[in-house]
Amino acid sequence: MLKTVLRCVPEYFRMASRLIVAAGFCSCLTGCPSLPVEGVNTLGMEFVYVPAGSFPMGCGESDDSCLYDEKPRHLVTISQPFYLGRYEVTQAQWAAVMGTQPNVFKGDDRLPMENVSWNEAQEFIRRLNALESTDKYRLPTEGEWEYAARAGTMTKFSFDAAHAGEYAWFWDNAGNTPHPAGEKLPNPLGLHDMHGNVWEWVQDWYGDDWYARLLAASPPNPLRGTNSPLKDEKGFSMDPSGPPEGVFRVLRGGGWSNDVRYLRSAHRHGYPPDAHRSNVGFRVAMSAMRKGLKKVDKAKEAADAVKDAAARATPPGMEPPASMPSPNMPQINMPEIKAPEIKMPEMPQIEVPKVQLPPVQLKLPF
């Protein structure tokens, strides 16, 4: 392992010299004129361009709200630009692709989609890719999500904490319900509701010790000895993608039912990939491509088409109407299997001594 890490150090330094700038958040917006800085797809989903760059991932020592799974803070580089949805996926967009409405809160098709599992979010993305004959859509990695949420900041939030109510829906101001996408101010990248409204699924498996494991295997920070504000960050990781396996998937951003401390840029939570909650949704990432996005001034026309499609959505469990484009799903008839009756032998009575267990502190932000 050590030999492998040492062999990779020169490559890391070479990449770092190209990707990292003094500000810690480099942008190729002016250097990539052929890539639009924003755009909309055929369903009216708006996307914002996120340039490649580096940032401190995790919770810093100056943050008095740090939790054990948010540390240690370490230097991460996102080596490739990407697009991220300006808003969380809405109920109208979900209905247009999936033909169902399993969300708990109803009444406004601009509300963020909620009550969907990580597995169902993946199915939405699979169908969205099929509709546009591409493979560019995906969930963001945990590193990409935090990078975009911070948008060049190194503080608890991407905004002044004293003005949290202007940027996010959470327990103090949400009124026990999610709110339509985009009603609060965006972060410096132009992304809305990265903090609050609904939690967002990301691609990675969750590991409470993942940051420590990542740091232990990473080469040293190539910016030490420079004037960069990132020179004192620990380690150096390129495009981290989470543990190779796990039990939970990562949720980010906090939701309408949470205290403001759970909306911090560094906060992370693990949740079963097949679980549902009325404060959990997602937003879509897209690999940076030179084709596939229309100009934003055409967004209204595409959004109207999505609204019409959403109006035709059928209740959960029913097939979408034939007029709605969706992949053909084969019908599988499962044979009825009758399990044989099994008689269990009588078990001897065992007297179990009483044990007084110490209290356990559980982290349950929901």
Is residue 53 within 8 A of residue 20, CB to CB? The reply is yes
What is the rounded CA–CA span in Å between residue 222 and residue 287? 27
- The full set of domain ranges for the chain reads 2-311
What does the CA dihedral 78, 231, 60, 54 come to, rounded to 10 degrees?
Answer: -10
What sections of 111-262 are H helices per DSSP?
Answer: 118-131, 142-150, 164-167, 210-216
Amino acid 62: pLDDT = 74
Is residue 272 within 8 A of residue 202, CB to CB? The reply is no
Is residue 300 within 8 A of residue 106, CB to CB? The reply is no
What does the CA dihedral 41, 47, 51, 53 come to, rounded to 10 degrees?
Answer: -130
pLDDT in tens, 297-318: 544 454 455 455 445 444 444 3
Sign of CA dihedral 155, 159, 164, 168: negative
How many residues make up the chain in this entry? 366
Amino acid 91: pLDDT = 97
Q: How many CB atoms lie within 10 A of CB 102?
A: 18
Identify residue 223 by its one-letter amino acid code.
L
Amino acid 294: pLDDT = 67
CA atoms within 13 A on the CB side of 304: 3
CATH homologous superfamily for 2-311?
Answer: paralog of FGE (formylglycine-generating enzyme) (3.90.1580.10)
Model confidence pTM above 0.95: no
Write out residues in the chain with pLDDT < 70, as ranges: 1-35, 289-366
Amino acid 326: pLDDT = 36
What is the rounded CA–CA span in Å between residue 173 and residue 256? 8
What is the rounded CA–CA span in Å between residue 274 and residue 266? 24
Amino acid 60: pLDDT = 86
In the chain, helix, strand, coil percent, each to 5?
Answer: 25, 15, 60
